[in-house]
Amino acid sequence: AQSVAQPEDQVNVAEGNPLTVKCTYSVSGNPYLFWYVQYPNRGLQFLLKYITGDNLVKGSYGFEAEFNKSQTSFHLKKPSALVSDSALYFCAVRDTGGSYIPTFGRGTSLIVHP
Amino acid sequence: EAGVAQSPRYKIIEKRQSVAFWCNPISGHATLYWYQQILGQGPKLLIQFQNNGVVDDSQLPKDRFSAERLKGVDSTLKIQPAKLEDSAVYLCASSSTEGSKNIQYFGAGTRLSVL
């Protein structure tokens, strides 16, 4: 069975500092990995995805994520955080060796302090 | 391009009552998803449609939940009868094809409170 873990409920970072939101996964086949962001009272918005190819994926709003197969991780990063990046971030995985049902992590609340 | 539309935005009902949610996906999107997002958790897929056919409903509590997409466009999700534990945000999403690579576009959701 596939699963996603986001080990941190909350990440705090000062504006201008780099940020990392962690995600690890477990699948039987190869993973398709996604990051979504959710602002208050809004639906989830796509940030970036890894399907195949380069391990470093660049996405919207200056975010990027690095796929690490040996560590089964797909951490979300940004070199310089903005207050407006404060939101709920979800990692999701689909298993190419399984049922293709998307599984989401429980989310990480990112708080960027001025 | 118009996004995924959902209604109502909020609904409050008493347990054992019935409720229905409506979703209109992005025009041309063949795949439609319904998710349940309980407070403090990530979205959980309830059902996935490809056009008007069900691709997966393995996580749908079929004794009380039902969903349909009769003409392959908009969809309704129904709960009958509702339980306290059904309190959640119900998210609808769509994507252009069923392929698992494709990005899902989410609506704003319907927040259900069961009292």
pLDDT tens track for A40-74: 878 899 999 998 888 999 998 999 999 999 999 99
Tell me what pLDDT residue B52 has: 86
Tell me what pLDDT residue A1 has: 76
Of the pLDDT bands very low, low, confident and very high (cuts 50, 70, 90), residue A30 is confident
One-letter amino acid for residue A55 of the chain: N
Cβ-contact A32, A20 below 8 angstroms: no
| Averaged pLDDT score across all residues of chain A | 92
Tell me what pLDDT residue A67 has: 96
Section A77-102 average pLDDT: 88
Max CA-CA distance within chain B?
39
CB-based contact, B46 to chain A, within 8 Å: no
Count interface pairs A-B at CB distance under 8 A. Answer: 56
Cβ-contact A28, A95 below 8 angstroms: yes
In chain B, which residues have pLDDT < 70? 1, 97-101
Å between A63 CA and nearest CA of chain B: 16
Cα→Cα distances B48→A42, A48, B44, Å: 21, 22, 11
The residue in chain B having the minimum alpha-carbon distance to the alpha carbon of residue A4 is B42
Tell me what pLDDT residue A7 has: 96
- Mutation target among A44, A52, A89, A106 for the B interface, most CBs of B within 10 A: A44
CB-based contact, A32 to chain B, within 8 Å: yes
CB-based contact, A100 to chain B, within 8 Å: yes
Residues of B in contact with A35 (CB under 8 A): none
Contact at CB, A106 and B41, closer than 8 angstroms: yes
Residues of A in contact with B93 (CB under 8 A): 43-44
The alpha carbon torsion through A29, A35, A38, A44 (nearest 10 deg) reads -60
Tell me what pLDDT residue A69 has: 94
Instruction: Report percent pLDDT > 90 for chain A.
Output: 76
- Cross-chain CB nearest to A104 (options B3, B43, B109): B43
Tell me what pLDDT residue A99 has: 62
Tell me what pLDDT residue B85 has: 96
Distance between CA A42 and CA A88 in Å, rounded?
11
Contact at CB, B45 and A102, closer than 8 angstroms: yes
- 3-class secondary-structure state, position A96: coil
Contact at CB, B108 and A4, closer than 8 angstroms: no
- Cross-chain CB nearest to A46 (options B41, B100, B103): B103
